[in-house]
């Protein structure tokens, strides 16, 4: 869940707010607003990467932000990419425990990437890569999963696929999913609520 009370976000001055909102576990929320309205800043604040100017935010657990425009690095497989998010918690020899390996398999399966785990990132579609980014975030078992413009630069088919995946993910895992988008029409079709800035 996400609960904010009179939250003001920004860097040196107010960018957005005050805002008060509450979203339940398992809810998929579309965040919309013009460029510069504070969408990314709000998500960074919810993720704990920025301190709020004022007000309070509660997430009931870890909040993970998947940024936009992550580069596809040639030479990395889908599996290697997904597991990079877990290496920070690995031991000194970078070996993951059985529970972490299970989380990776489950994330790949949930994102329907099992069959392409060994594929080079440079050889998968942009939509499939966005699903790999979501899978990497899923391995963290976050209570709140946020995606900054997850459908940017995708064709219509991949945009719909990613949005459907996000809503299914929220409903099946119980995580609260918050995504920003300028594609309000499709975003509204595949979200349970919306927050306008």
pLDDT in tens, 9-68: 998 777 888 999 999 999 999 999 998 899 999 999 999 999 999 999 999 888 999 887
- pTM to 2 decimals? 0.86
Per-residue confidence (pLDDT) for residue 89, from 0 to 100: 56
- Mark 63-95 as b/e (b = at least 16 C-beta within 10 Å): bbbbeeeeeeeeeebbbebbbebbeeeeeeeee
Alpha carbons 166 and 160: distance in angstroms, whole number? 10
- 22 C-beta neighbours (distance < 10 Å), count: 12
Which structural domains are found in the chain, ordered by start? 2-196 (3.40.50.300)
pLDDT in tens, 167-194: 999 999 899 999 999 889 999 999 999 9
- Contact 51/44 with Cβ under 8 angstroms? no
pLDDT in tens, 67-126: 877 888 889 999 999 888 776 555 545 677 788 888 889 989 988 898 999 999 999 988
Alpha carbons 178 and 27: distance in angstroms, whole number? 8
The backbone region for 174, taken as left when phi is positive above 0, alpha when psi lies in -120 to 50, beta otherwise, is left
Pinpoint the alpha helices (H) of 29-147: 39-46, 78-84, 98-110, 126-138
Per-residue confidence (pLDDT) for residue 192, from 0 to 100: 97
> What is the DSSP annotation of 117-143?
TTSBGGGS-HHHHHHHHHHHHHTTT-S
Per-residue confidence (pLDDT) for residue 14, from 0 to 100: 72
Residues 6 or more apart in contact with residue 121 via CB below 8 angstroms? 72, 73, 74, 76, 77, 78, 81, 129, 132
pLDDT in tens, 151-162: 887 888 888 988
């Amino acid at each position: 869940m996400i609960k904010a009370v009179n939250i003001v976000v920004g860097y040196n001055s107010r960018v957005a707010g005050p805002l008060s909102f509450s979203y339940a576990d398992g809810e998929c929320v579309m965040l919309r607003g013009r460029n510069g309205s504070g969408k990314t800043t709000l998500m960074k604040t919810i993720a704990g990467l920025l301190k709020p100017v004022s007000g309070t935010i509660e997430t009931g657990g870890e909040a993970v932000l998947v940024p936009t425009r992550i580069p596809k690095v040639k030479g990395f497989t889908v599996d290697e990419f997904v597991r990079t998010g877990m290496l920070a918690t690995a031991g000194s020899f970078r070996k993951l425990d059985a529970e972490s390996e299970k989380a990776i398999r489950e994330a790949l399966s949930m994102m329907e990437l099992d069959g392409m785990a060994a594929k080079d990132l440079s050889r998968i579609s942009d939509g499939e890569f966005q699903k790999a980014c979501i899978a990497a975030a899923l391995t963290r078992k976050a209570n709140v999963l946020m995606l900054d413009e997850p459908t940017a630069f995708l064709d219509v088919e991949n945009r719909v696929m990613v949005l459907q995946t996000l809503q299914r993910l929220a409903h099946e895992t119980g995580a609260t999913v918050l995504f920003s988008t300028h594609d309000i029409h499709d975003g509204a079709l595949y979200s349970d609520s919306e927050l306008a800035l």
